[in-house]
Amino acid sequence: MAGTVKPRRIGPGSNIAIIAPAGPPRADRLRKGLEFLRKRGYKLRIYPQVRRKLGYLAGDDKARASALMEAFSDESIDGIFAAKGGYGCLRLLPHIDYKVIENKPKVFVGYSDLTALLLSIYNKCGIVTFHGPMAAVEFGRRLREYTVDHFFGAIEGSLLPATIKKPTGYKFEVINDGVAEGIIMGGNLSLMARMAGTGYLPSFKGRIIFLEDTEEEPYRLDAYLAQLFMSTDIKDAAGFILGEFTRTEPRYGHVKGWSAAQVLNDYFSRLHRPALTGFPCGHGKEKITIPIGVRVMLDADKKTVTFLESGVEK
């Protein structure tokens, strides 16, 4: 990766590809999400693959990878939004032509299972990708002003650089104090653990790492962190931003003991690097859109995260 490349900003009137590289979206939520995006002034092209179903996948690997590559290759497409997550993106990594993507940087947004694509594209191509809401998830349900404003502010270039404000009801907590500056990178913890050793996961060294997850019991979160700490350079990161870890209650009596918060504290408190918890990213009610690959400042003393640059070229 020679250097970081920012895609051009998009806005009302831009042509957006809607794809489903993981699981198939619910039809009612997809309709609502598409209606919302059209009302915001975006022109949409829904790839036929979005409505395919193969078990828990939105079509076979070839169909899903082809939709992604077609969207990046098409000169008329300005940005690419994922319909939903689920599972399946990890299977696509060997089928992607990263040289094509490298030469056609575009705003690409998703989260959860999309972590595999966001990080592999950033790693192989040096292109800023966006960890943010999806068409048939956040935009297909109750719309939340905080999430909506941060999404359009990030991709349209009107929000960043800025210090992120806490949404109502959120509370940032400190694991380790201190201040760190670096490139922000991260996503879904379980996906990142599964990417370890594949060659698609970027280095953590000197970077500000954000993590989130859902529906994983504490002992499983422990296992994912153990995997990353043994097989990657995550301990050499400059700082850590821990987002929301939702629905993590133990379901089986024999593995009760620590909570998710206690597991996270056990791993990150011993590193003596700035670490903040409670950040609005992940599977919670609110989320900011995070441009992976831009510089941020983490000030755990003040409990602030400041994006020092935009993720798009204006």
Catalytic-labelled residue, pool 138, 156, 212, 217: 212
Q: Residue 203: count other Cβ atoms within 10 Å of its Cβ.
A: 14
Radius of gyration (Cα) for the chain, nearest Å? 18
Kindly provide the b/e burial profile for residues 25-41, where b requires at least 16 CB atoms within 10 angstroms of the residue's own CB: bbeebbebbbebbeeee
- Residues in a beta bridge with 8: 313
Q: How remote is the C-alpha of 45 from its chain's centroid?
A: 22
Catalytic-labelled residue, pool 131, 190, 283, 286: 283
Catalytic-labelled residue, pool 14, 112, 190, 310: 112
Cα separation, 138 vs 37, in Å, equals: 11
**Is residue 254 flagged as an active site residue?**
no
**Is residue 244 flagged as an active site residue?**
no
Say if residue 161 is preceded by a cis peptide, omega within 30 of 0. yes
**Is residue 283 flagged as an active site residue?**
yes
Closest CA to 280 of 239, 242, 225, 240: 242
Residues annotated catalytic, as ranges: 112, 212, 283
